[in-house]
């Protein structure tokens, strides 16, 4: 029977959560009384996650497991699952149980009302103050730069209609941010509020560097605003420097030659050098993305698909 709902879960070193996740998720899906499949994408786990997932695939006929040949990242794991999914509605869910599986029917109902992309907004987030503050700043900056109206970019509990996923599958970008990519194809996006829980086992796989890397991918992959802002700043700086040069020229005739202010000029010089280096970094981000695309290397390598008679 063709699944109606596909649950897609990227996994990386989550052996402490997988048992509880399946124990809560499976009854929820059975309670919906609709055909479903659960696709786990193991992103090169180094603990017992893959062994536990293959046992689930052998136990539950609805479960399939994509085994990666290494660690390619959360979004590539989801992309791989999208390509083998068969449902009319796709739900992405993290394996850490911070987003309760019990919220899934709420997202499915929203899609059935005619929305093709349904995002989620975490209520009473159980994260650290630093994590919540950084997330808020990123959300605001991303909305301004991309023009996309999403309240919570960091929550991966989301629903996608088959039409949107098929368009996503046509994209072959080396790096991407799936919620934003889906938003570009959505004709009727919506959002729902969902609960949020504290991580009980394991630790977050997103370090500060990975979060910064992901946000750079988000901003440079869906907007040229950083380049435009830097160009605008360059124009304003050039005008200011001309005005300052005119000021110094007039001052020389009024006051005469002087050596005061040398350190001030050095401070101004160092400031603009710093801005220039920052701008070169932004340009480098875009050049780096172009470099990744022109190499045309595989985005991920699937070693094996477990479940459903061990598809290959």
Domain segments of the chain as ranges: 5-203+298-306, 225-295
Q: How far is CA 24 from CA 20, 29, 100, 148, in A?
A: 6, 9, 9, 33
Alpha carbon 223 to chain centroid, angstroms: 15
Q: How far is CA 198 from CA 1, 37, 240, in A?
A: 36, 26, 50
DSSP state of 11: E
Q: Considering only CA atoms, which of 14, 5, 2, 7 is closest in space to residue 204?
A: 14
Q: What homologous superfamily does CATH list for 5-203+298-306?
A: Spore Coat Polysaccharide Biosynthesis Protein SpsA; Chain A (3.90.550.10)
Q: Considering only CA atoms, which of 128, 132, 104, 97 is closest in space to residue 118?
A: 104
pTM assigned to the model: 0.74
| Lowest mean pLDDT across 68-82, 113-127, 255-269 | 255-269
What are the tens digits of pLDDT across the range 182-241? 888 888 989 998 888 876 665 655 555 566 666 666 666 666 667 777 777 777 777 777
CA distance 224 to 179: 18
- Note whether 101 and 25 are within 8 A (CB): yes
pLDDT over 70 at 24, yes or no: yes
What are the tens digits of pLDDT across the range 139-158? 666 666 656 666 776 788 99
pLDDT over 50 at 312, yes or no: no
CA distance 125 to 279: 35
Alpha carbon 201 to chain centroid, angstroms: 22
CA distance 93 to 85: 14
How many Cβ atoms sit within 10 Å of the Cβ of residue 255?
Answer: 9
Alpha carbon 3 to chain centroid, angstroms: 26
Q: According to the model, what pLDDT value does residue 22 have?
A: 95
């Amino acid at each position: 029977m063709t699944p109606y709902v596909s649950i897609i879960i990227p996994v990386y070193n989550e052996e402490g959560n997988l048992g509880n996740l399946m124990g809560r998720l499976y009854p929820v899906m059975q309670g919906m009384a609709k055909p479903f499949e659960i696709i786990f994408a193991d992103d090169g786990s180094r603990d017992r996650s893959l062994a536990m997932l293959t046992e689930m695939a052998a136990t539950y006929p609805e479960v399939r497991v994509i085994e990666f040949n290494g660690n390619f990242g959360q979004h590539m794991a989801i992309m791989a699952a999208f390509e083998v999914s068969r449902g009319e509605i796709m739900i992405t869910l993290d394996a850490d149980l911070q987003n309760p599986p019990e919220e899934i029917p709420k997202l499915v109902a929203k899609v059935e009302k005619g929305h093709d992309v349904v995002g989620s907004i975490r209520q009473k987030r159980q994260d650290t103050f630093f994590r919540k503050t950084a997330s808020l700043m990123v959300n605001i900056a991303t909305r301004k730069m991309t023009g996309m109206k999403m309240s919570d970019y960091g929550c991966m509990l989301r629903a996608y209609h088959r039409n949107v996923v098929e368009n996503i599958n046509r994209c072959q970008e080396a790096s991407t941010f799936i919620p934003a990519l889906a938003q570009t194809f959505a004709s009727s996006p919506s959002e729902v509020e969902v609960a949020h829980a504290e991580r009980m086992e394991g630790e977050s796989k997103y370090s500060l560097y990975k979060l910064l890397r992901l946000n750079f991918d988000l901003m440079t992959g869906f907007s040229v605003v950083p380049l435009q802002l830097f160009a605008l700043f360059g124009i304003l700086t050039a005008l200011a420097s001309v005005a300052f040069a005119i000021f110094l020229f007039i001052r020389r005739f009024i006051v005469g030659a002087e050596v005061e202010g040398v350190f001030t000029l050095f401070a101004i010089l160092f400031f603009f050098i710093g801005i220039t280096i920052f701008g070169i970094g932004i340009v480098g981000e875009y050049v780096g993305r172009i470099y990744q695309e022109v190499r045309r290397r595989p985005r991920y390598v699937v070693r094996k698909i477990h479940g459903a008679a061990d598809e290959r």
